[in-house]
Amino acid sequence: MINLNIDGKYVKVPEGSTILEAARQLGIDIPTLCHLKLDDNVGMVNKSASCRVCVVEVKGRRNLAPACATPVAEGMEVRTNTIRVLNARKTVLELLLSDHPKECLTCAKSGNCELQDLAERFCIREVRYQGVQSTYKKDHSPALERDMDKCVMCRRCETMCNEVQTVGVLSGVNRGFNAVVAPAFEKPLVDTVCTFCGQCAAVCPTGALVERDYSWRVIEALADPDKVVVVQTAPAVRAALGEEFGLEPGTLVTGKMVSALRQMGFDYVFDTDFAADLTIMEEASEFLDRLNRYLKGDKAVRMPILTSCCPAWVKFFEHQFPELLDVPSTAKSPQQMFGAVAKNFFAKKLGIPREKMVVVSVMPCLAKKYEASRPEFAVDGNPDVDISISTRELAHLIKRCNIDFLSLPDEDFDRPLGESTGAGVIFGTTGGVIEAAVRTAVEWATGKPLEKVDFTELRGMQGCREAWVNVGDLKLHIGIAHGLGNARRLLEAVRDGKGEMFHAIEIMACPGGCVGGGGQPYHHGNFEIVKKRAEAIYREDQGKPIRKSHENPEIVKLYEEFLGKPLGETAHHLLHTHYFK
Ligand code: HC1
Ligand code: SF4
């Protein structure tokens, strides 16, 4: 351990720690724009030391030292708030602002921008240095907006995309003033292998990377008297939306969210959790079918089955593992199953054509915007899901509609597409999809009710995990990965036939699963927030009267009335998809 003194306080930290880490241990908040360390399970450490906002004075050294990149030494004396330090920090900020667009009033990141926060903290009331302004071409994809004029070259997005997600789309290009983080040849994101996971936007300190905002389209749809507007809310939204209204992370706001949506004027407030239950009906059937054929020696069957509900993961394997396209489940994601059922079943029930119905989804995810726009999820150009907005966009909409969220009463979803089980809700966190599938598959395979519904061996935050689940005499080997880098490691092992064979693997692109999605309220590097959301998801599951997807009475009815049986003709046509190289 190393002893040092920071601002007159003594602290003991492990060798190899930085001054920034030692200061944080003392509760001294040295500002930084570039440094970011997420949970060890996520493995994101951005140590570019590029912003120079964290400089400190170290006794005996002539130059100021960046706290994020300077290792502690025995007996070190550090000052973090001398006039020299404060002056240097202010100058660095002013230089950063010299070519930064002064668009705070209209910037999507306003109120959440770390550069704006620092300008406020340092009382910067004028920018003394007016530099040449950058004029990069803006990049609008269906999911993300890139405005590189606002980039401060912190390289967080690059670390996230390359090291955590291993997608490798973003890197520093050009030199000097023209240096920018961009895809190769500065191509637009749609022309790259970007998965639209949105994790780059989740860690961007400024408005350089933000979601494509479709909230105005929702207002237009709600104002159109000729439309029936239906909304579905993803499992992870209810565990995070409250943060936008000052509630503690991990506060469940399911009932208030339903109330707010109803007050906004949606005709039907439904739940993606219903469609998550439906996904399990199809996915568990597909899994048992494959497993039975595999156990009978059918050589044509590919194991393991991979979950397919995360659209960033789907795009990742389409680009990165084209030889494994027949391995993932063909089940559509709950978002898309919901859209298909709403437009092909519920619209008919209401006696209206599909074009008259607008399906809005509220998702913790940015890739869902892209998924909704995939052409195979449309009929004659009419998409199954018309508009996908993020948790953040919903919070903005609620505020825009003058709704006092905190004083709303709890209300329940409409029926039939709002009925769900605990299995549906746990989709929102890493391990939840496979636990939901296991609850149903084990009960179907054994023909006996489960002795325990909670498969805690499948839970946790470790990036790559494995567990064994008993089904009669058979031990199912289950894999779980969250974060695309972890997914890659697991998939490479599967492809190369390394290790014990898995029967099923769940993969979610975002660290933590959907609770950590790119459309959730910004966590500003505090991954504990994501963990609290996951705990909330399991609390919601515990409190549900029904906790197995196949016992959802509205799902049972839907098969009786309309779908026939899982993997049957109608189900196959509406609820399954295919993948492209
Ligand atoms: Fe997810 Fe899913 S759980 S992908 O993580 O399968 O976004 O919440 O809606 O579709 O249900 C996201 C969350 C979400 C789908 C479901
Ligand atoms: Fe990389 Fe994901 Fe950002 Fe695309 S959305 S650039 S894959 S981090």
Q: Please write the tens of the pLDDT for every residue from 482-523.
A: 999 999 999 999 999 888 899 999 999 999 999 999 999 999
pLDDT value for 223: 98
pLDDT band at residue 554 using 50, 70 and 90 as cut-offs: very high
pLDDT value for 391: 98
Q: Specify the amino acid at residue 69.
A: A
Helices 432-446 & 272-295, crossing angle to 10 degrees? Answer: 50
Q: Render pLDDT for 210-239 as a digit per residue (tens, 0 to 9).
A: 999 999 999 999 999 999 999 999 999 999
Q: Which of 129, 57, 131, 49 is nearest to 91 (CA)?
A: 129
Q: 72, 11 in Cβ contact below 8 A?
A: no
Ligand 2 atom with the shortest distance to the CA of 170: 6
Q: Is the CB of 161 under 6 A from ligand 2?
A: yes
Q: What's the CA gap between 341 and 276, in Å, rounded? A: 12
Beta bridge partners of 505: 306, 479
pLDDT greater than 90 at residue 269: yes
Cis check for the bond before 304: say yes or no (omega within 30 of 0): yes
Q: What's the CA gap between 158 and 378, in Å, rounded? A: 33
Q: What are phi and psi of 579, to 5 degrees?
A: -120, 155
Q: Render pLDDT for 77-92 as a digit per residue (tens, 0 to 9).
A: 999 999 999 999 999 9
Q: 202, 165 in Cβ contact below 8 A?
A: no
Q: What's the CA gap between 293 and 287, in Å, rounded? A: 10
pLDDT greater than 90 at residue 131: no
Tell me the CA–centroid distance for residue 470 and ligand 1, in Å: 27
Q: Ligand 1 — pocket residues by CB below 6 A?
A: 234-236, 272, 276, 309-310, 333-335, 363-365, 368, 427-428, 508, 513-514, 517
Beta bridge partners of 74: none
Q: Specify the amino acid at residue 212.
A: R
Name which residue leads in pLDDT, 25 or 131. 25
- Reduced to 3 states (helix: H, G, I; strand: E, B; else coil), residue 15 is coil
Catalytic residues: 283, 286, 309, 329, 368, 371, 376, 514
Q: How many CB atoms lie within 10 A of CB 336?
A: 27
Q: Alpha-carbon dihedral of residues 323, 326, 330, 334, nearest 10 degrees?
A: -30
pLDDT value for 35: 96
Name the DSSP class of 144: E
pLDDT greater than 90 at residue 139: yes
Residue 309's Cα: distance from chain center in Å?
Answer: 13
Helices 272-295 & 334-341, crossing angle to 10 degrees? Answer: 110
Query: Which residue's CA is minimally distant from atom 2 of ligand 2?
Result: 197
Tokens representing 456? 């805690």
Q: Render pLDDT for 431-445 as a digit per residue (tens, 0 to 9).
A: 999 999 999 999 999
Q: Specify the amino acid at residue 533.
A: R
Q: 566, 574 in Cβ contact below 8 A?
A: no
Q: What percent of the chain has pLDDT over 70?
A: 100
Name the DSSP class of 229: E
Ligand 2 atom with the shortest distance to the CA of 196: 5
The whole-number average pLDDT for the span 567-578 is 98
For every residue of 349-405, DSSP letters joined together read HHT--GGGEEEEEEES-SHHHHHHT-GGGEETTEESS-EEEEHHHHHHHHHHTT--G
Which residues neighbour 456 within 8 Å (Cβ) at sequence distance 6 or greater?
Answer: none
pLDDT value for 513: 98
27, burial (CB in 10 Å: exposed 0-12, middle 13-18, buried 19+): exposed
Q: What is the H or E stretch that residue 115 is in? A: helix 114-121
Tell me the CA–centroid distance for residue 463 and ligand 1, in Å: 18
Ligand 2 atom with the shortest distance to the CA of 183: 6
pLDDT greater than 90 at residue 130: no
Cα distance between the two ends of the chain = 52
pLDDT greater than 90 at residue 178: no
